[in-house]
Structure 1
Amino acid sequence: MPVRLFVGNLPYDTTEAELREYFSAVGTLSFVQVAMDRETGKARGFGFVEFADRAQAEEAIRKFNNQPFKNRPLAINEARPKESSSPGRISSPPAPSFSRRPPTPNTDWIKDTSMAEPPLTKDFDSPSRRNRKQKSRDDRGENAPRGLKRKRKSGKRSWDDDDFYYD
């Protein structure tokens, strides 16, 4: 039964031919893949190799794990299968579209409706901001600090002798 190995910490300029040549010292490889980014087409820094025999795969792990390859120590272990989402699990929201129209809210992916935002409603019982009564000093209570009283001046400022202090 074939055994697939995960090869991590690969240099970004590694090719599949170089990886095949490096691992062929242990045994024959049935599969070699360097993971590439879909959008940029550049290597992602990891890959997979597959041996037909389990003994060869274990030997490759013992021989090459934490050993330098192009001045970088490789991280090699047996590859795990991709995780599939379980039926009770909430899947991720759909990817955003880049159309000119704004996307319509789509909450079909939310299985638990308690997580969805409630519709916006106006509370008609609370007074609007304009109609709210401000608390006066008397409403604050007798023990509230009074602060300084200021004279309210209206109109133009008059310059009298009271405004200046002379030595």
Structure 2
Amino acid sequence: SVTKEIHRINAGEIDRNISTSASWHAQYKDSPYIFIGNIPYDLTEGDIITIFSQFGEVLDLQLVRNKQTGESKGFAFLRYEDQRSTILAVDNLNNFTLLGRTLRVDHASAETKDGEKRTGMNAAPPLLRGG
């Protein structure tokens, strides 16, 4: 499977003492965001947070919805507390089949294409939000 191949490659990099800066993940070292595509339309924000929280503390989730109907468009942006969680999520859930749909999970910039900061549903626990 793809996941096993990724783990094999990662293990090989560790065995050969290849620095983390040589990894393709390094270009996203400053962004705690991931893009999640091809999400089953009936999943809620809570469902997505539950799935992705196995790789780290989720602070923010923006599930993109149709402005008129409120229905999911099948993609989202998620922010982790620790950027290293993005690597685990990308390596483990990209190409994962969920409810008959193959997820696309990739690193994402902390800014939108218009240069604005991403915002969504604040999923941080109260202690991390300062409340």
- State the partner residue of 1:77: 106
- State the partner residue of 2:26: none
Count of residue pairs the alignment pairs up = 85
User: Are positions 1:40 and 2:69 aligned together?
Assistant: yes
Q: Percent identity?
A: 28
Deviations 1:76-97 (A, max 9, x none): 1112333339xxxxxxxxxxxx
- Counterparts of residues 74-153 of structure 1 (less than 5 Å): 74-80=103-109, 81-84=111-114
> Relative CO higher for 1 or 2, CA cutoff 8 Å, sep ≥ 6?
2
Deviations 1:50-86 (A, max 9, x none): 111121111110010000122211001112333339x
Equivalent-residue separation in structure 2 for 1:40 and 1:33 (angstroms): 16
**Aligned-partner residue type, residue 9 of structure 1:** N
- State the partner residue of 2:93: 64
More helix as a share of residues? 2
More strand as a share of residues? 2
Give me the TM-score of the superposition, normalised by structure 2.
Answer: 0.59
Q: Which consecutive residues of structure 2, in runs of 5 or more, have no partner in the other structure?
A: 1-29, 116-131
Structure 1 stretches of at least 4 aligned residues deviating more than 2 Å after TM superposition = 80-85
Please say which structure displays the higher CA radius of gyration: 1
Give me the TM-score of the superposition, normalised by structure 1.
Answer: 0.47
Structure 1 residue 2, shift from structure 2 partner:
5.5
